[in-house]
Chains A and B, each alone.
Chain A
Amino acid sequence: MQDVDKIVNGQKLFLKDEYQTSLAAKKEFESAMGAINPAKVDEVQEWTKSWDYREKNLAREAITVNPAKACQPLGAIMAALGFENTMPYVHGSHGCVAYFRSYFTRHFKEPTPCVSDSMSESAAVFGGLANMKDGLRNCNAMYKPEHIAVSTTCMAEVIGDDLNAFVVGAREEAEGELDDLPITYAHTPSFVGSHITGYDNMMKAMLEQLNPPKSERVVDEGRINIIPGFEPYLGSLAEVKEIAAEFSDKIVMIGDHEEQWNTGAGDYKLYAGGTPMDVAKTAINAETTISLQKYSTVQTAKTIKNKWKQGYETCNPIGLAGTDEFVMKLSELTGKEVSEKLKTERAQLVDAMQDSYPYMHGKKIAIYGDPDFLLGMVSFLVEMGAIPTHVLCNNAPRKGWEKDMQEIIDKSPWAKDCQIWPAKDLWHLRSLLFTEPVDFMIGNVYGKELYRDTKTPLIRIGFPIFDRHHLHRYSMSGYKGALNLLTWITNGILDQLDEETKDIGETDYFFDAVR
């Protein structure tokens, strides 16, 4: 029973004898093997650690188990929230939107505005036009957006709803209420690609539909657009803008969701920050657009390069080399020298890397996540002398990504010890960790179960991270961002060293006060 002076929640309550007795007695009624024959559980558990199991596991073709990826509309919502006073509107079932909002909210610890038009059985039969007619009007009346960005769920895609016709139809019947409201739309089927594909499709659609045709393009000399991509680190957006400002005040971010998920205490604001609509509507006029996530903007790039005939560059400012490249690109495009501020930041980063390198050097790391995140992160690991032993990407693009990754890995003296695992999930990674173990894992919250099972310490960098707070507020891009990466990884390694050396009279001779 609870001690009122020392009330404990379930974590410790269930350790009390009476609960342990009750839980043990429950086994009598259970069919789980742990209740019937625990030895069998041990036997199978051991088998899951074997090479035999690994081979069978890697041969899987139909069932995906614990992947590190989500579906298209999630990315579309992030893209939409990068624009000022924009309401993401999902044409489809509201259950999906409840999931998207919860998912972002658990990561950012912030509200996530997004509506749906609640399609259901009747819409499945007759199409979702009626839902869209009511939905756009209601959304406009209640949330007074300056722009609505429509994406779709797989239901609307399977029944083949025609978004263009629906938006036109909804406007016509809205008694003028929607006349001046930009409504952009993108098809974002969940059964194609992943959340980064959805980001790409929505971004492309918004840019194409908000901007005039190429014939009306008036080049705005010196203007550069930066598209951040599906970026869960809000500090990265801030730092990229800060770096850009060192070169020109005509560099603008297209799709800037930094403030939306980082509002202060006070009154709740539905919309916060974002690329202003007049900036979005003139994106076509820029001289050049730089994408910071090549593989999250594959389709968007086509619009910029082929339709707009704009300069298009990709940079990945994660780690030292990635940031150097970004900085030099900005210098080249603006004709301006690298500023003293950036030179100092770079020098400080390199100094810190040289201070901490012994701990990362030679460490075997398994890392998983989105394609562009991995390109930047692996580059940084190689710069530090760590060994990216397993690089796993469930949503790896078929074209180009593996080659890009191999080129980065080839810079490592241990390149031959590194393996790239496209289209693999975290249950595959479990087998890899048992058969070819590493020292550390880097990735999102879903690595937690792998930590429990394999004891490989997890350093949390990625998306989503539900079980640690505020990491998303920091930058992982730019020189200062790389310093954050260095700090997180080095201290993660040192925490583990303390963990391994803390046994009194056994290992604590290495439990050093100075490192």
Chain B
Amino acid sequence: MGPETLEALQKEAIEEVLEVYPAKAAKNRAKHLGVDSPEGVKGACDKTRSNKQTVPGVMSQRGCAYAGSKGVVWGPIKDMIHISHGPIGCGQYSRGGRRNYYIGTTGVDTFVTMNFSTDFSEKDIVFGGDTKLKKALTEIDELFPLNNGISIQSECPIGLIGDDIQAVAKVHKKESSKPTIAVSCEGFRGVSQSLGHHLANDAIRDEVMTDTSARSEFESTDYDVAIIGDYNIGGDAWATRILLEEIGLRVIAQWSGDATYKEMAIAPKAKLNLLHCYRSMNYISRHMEQEFNIPWMEYNFFGPSKTTESLRKIAEFFGEEVQAKAEEVIAKYTAMTDAVIAKYKPVLEGKKVMLYVGGLRPRHVIGAYEDLGMEIIGTGYEFAHGDDYKRTKEDIERSTLIYDDVNEYELEKFVHKLKPDLVAAGVKEKYVFQKMGLPFRQMHSWDYSGPYHGYDAFAVFAKDMDLAMNSPVWNHTKAPWEKEEVGA
């Protein structure tokens, strides 16, 4: 299939999905869907409407502001306790699903996989939850004395019943002398996880960046960097850290995968902030630039091409000595990743992939697939903004269907039309496509594998893609007595 026919097919796919909607919804959704290519002028990457209200009544894959704050940004900070403040559900559904790995004694000095909830009853809604929250904070300090701070993550009712969690937090902070940070990340705020990231960043700015106690005695070196926007899913940040250390840098903080409160607080001592997930932590990177004069740099550690490119860019910032080391490191690992490519490219080359992930990976993982000869023919974000789509343009390699906040109906139709060999998205989508006999990989959780960041991780990625594409299980869908293929 040549690029021209691919583009025509992609445009036809959009027209077809829009047919089903009532007029108002069709008009809305049309703005979120488009096609672009590396040569395209003012294509979908420039024009796609994003970060807007989801059309009501569809099966959107989006989450909420609480998910963005508690689930993504704050939750992984391991030596703090994060209270899901409100009814029981949110804390329960978000428990232990993201695979933010950490080292620690859970329940004693670290708490990431636990669910702390104020478990609201009707009484708390009617009379307000501040009293319960105050008591909860005291009980936590008594039973979990090694916590290094508490964050209060608001669920929907908090902002609606007029509670003053900021005041409760302030009092407790004074009484306990520990960070006590209230985040008003009620799920109904904004249109997706994205506002939750922003609100979480704002809370870090106001409550953590202003705490100079750990910073004052910290001794910096000229090679200090902080990893920003890596949640250590399946150990990603560890696989990143080791490379940065090998080129001669000192990683003083991981935000926020396997992070501790101190790492959050000393980050302004870094010489350079390295930003992986732009969408969820660009806010605080900009703040540190303005407030502490720390430059920040976006990088991409998915796949050897992008990792090498990023390492060179990072090394360049630190000068010749680091650059020389970086070249050694690149040479050392490239021998290995070349062997990985030699092993897997023959069985993966030319396979077509459609992606649908959150706010970074829909563009960031393209390079890793392309390194293996796999072709991205569609990609989209749950909660990106215009600047993410613009950045996507740099990563697409051919005519690509772009879909913002795609719902299950649309994605299913697109897949039927474009017939990719692999779909890479989230758990809610996974079994829909597997039932059609299509290989699928979860790209939020790395499908219980990983890490996927860095050179060592690329070997894992390649092996996992081979596992997905070339398992014999996909051959069994059609029964021997059937003449026509099922699910084609």
A contact residues vs B (CB 8 Å cutoff): 1-2, 4, 7-10, 13-14, 18-19, 22-23, 25-26, 29-35, 40-41, 44-45, 48, 53, 56-57, 60-67, 69-74, 89, 92-103, 105-106, 109-121, 123-124, 131-132, 134-143, 153-155, 158-159, 177, 189-192, 194, 263-268, 427, 430, 446, 449, 452-453
Contact = CB atoms under 8 A, between A and B. Distances in A.
Interface string B450-488: 110001100110111000000000001100000000110
B365 to A, nearest CB: 17
A427 B426 CA distance: 30
Interface residues of B, number: 134
Contact of B435 (A154, A155, A268): A268
Given A41-B109, A100-B93, A121-B189, A105 B57 contact: no
Contacts of B245: 22, 25
Given A10-B235, A44-B108, A138-B57, 4 more contacts: A70-B88, A118-B56, A134-B24, A137-B57
Interface string B63-88: 11111000000000011000100111
Contacts of B252: 29
B97 A102 contact: yes
B253 interface: yes
A138 B58 contact: yes
A87 to B, nearest CB: 9
Contacts of B155: 154
Interface string B235-246: 100110110010
B114 A65 contact: yes
Contacts of B477: 265-266
A22 B241 contact: yes
A411 B235 CA distance: 50
B97 A62 contact: no
A10 B87 CA distance: 35
A102 B93 contact: yes
Contact of B156 (A25, A117, A136, A154): A154
B117 to A, nearest CB: 5
B94 A134 contact: no
Interface string B127-159: 000001111101110110110100000011101
A119 B65 CA distance: 13
Contacts of A115: 57-59
Given A2-B456, A95-B65, A71 B78 contact: no
Contacts of B449: 9-10
A211 B407 CA distance: 33
Given A132-B56, A141-B22, A67 B238 contact: no
B89 interface: yes
Most buried by B among A22, A56, A98, A121: A98
A13 B477 CA distance: 34
A34 B486 CA distance: 55
A155 B157 CA distance: 6
A268 B117 contact: no
Interface stretch (B271-279, B286-294, B314-322, B332-340): B332-340
Contact of B242 (A18, A44, A135, A138): A18
Given A95-B62, A190-B87, A67 B117 contact: yes
B381 interface: no
B9 interface: no
A95 B67 contact: yes
A32 B260 contact: yes
A65 B115 contact: yes
Given A34-B104, A63-B83, A132-B56, A98 B260 contact: no
A23 B103 contact: yes
B191 interface: yes
B55 A138 contact: yes
B459 A73 contact: no
A31 B261 contact: yes
Interface stretch (B41-49, B118-126, B197-205, B390-398): B118-126
B146 A33 contact: yes
A45 B106 CA distance: 10
Contacts of B242: 18-19, 22
Contact of A41 (B105, B113, B136, B191): B105
A134 B432 contact: no
A155 B235 contact: no
Contacts of B261: 31
Contacts, number: 369
Contacts of B333: 1
A174 to B, nearest CB: 9
A31 B148 contact: yes
B67 A109 contact: no
A94 B60 contact: yes
Contacts of A131: 56
Contacts of A101: 59, 428
A66 B115 contact: yes
B262 interface: yes
A158 B339 contact: no
Contact of A7 (B115, B118, B146, B463): B463
A9 B234 contact: yes
B110 A32 contact: yes
Nearest 5 CB-CB pairings of A with B: A95-B64, A71-B89, A135-B57, A31-B262, A135-B56
A180 B459 CA distance: 56
Interface string B428-439: 111111111100
Contact of B214 (A31, A56, A65): A31
A397 to B, nearest CB: 14
Given A41-B109, A192-B121, A22 B238 contact: yes
B92 interface: yes
30 contacts: A2-B455, A4-B340, A10-B239, A29-B263, A30-B79, A33-B146, A34-B109, A41-B146, A64-B117, A69-B92, A71-B89, A94-B63, A95-B66, A95-B187, A96-B64, A99-B63, A99-B90, A102-B97, A105-B430, A109-B431, A111-B435, A123-B188, A124-B160, A141-B25, A143-B409, A265-B437, A265-B477, A265-B487, A266-B435, A430-B107
B30 interface: no
A2 B336 contact: yes
A53 B436 contact: no
Contacts of A10: 101, 234-235, 238-239, 449-451, 460
Nearest to B243: A22
A93 B63 CA distance: 9
Contacts of A18: 242
B427 interface: yes
B323 to A, nearest CB: 21
Contact of A111 (B115, B254, B432, B486): B432
A63 B58 contact: no
Given A95-B187, A155-B187, A137 B118 contact: no
B297 to A, nearest CB: 20
B100 interface: no
B460 A96 contact: no
Nearest to B254: A26
B156 A153 contact: yes
Given A71-B89, A190-B89, A268-B432, A57 B143 contact: yes
A119 to B, nearest CB: 6
Interface in B396-428: 407-409, 412, 426-428
Contact of A105 (B133, B161, B427): B427
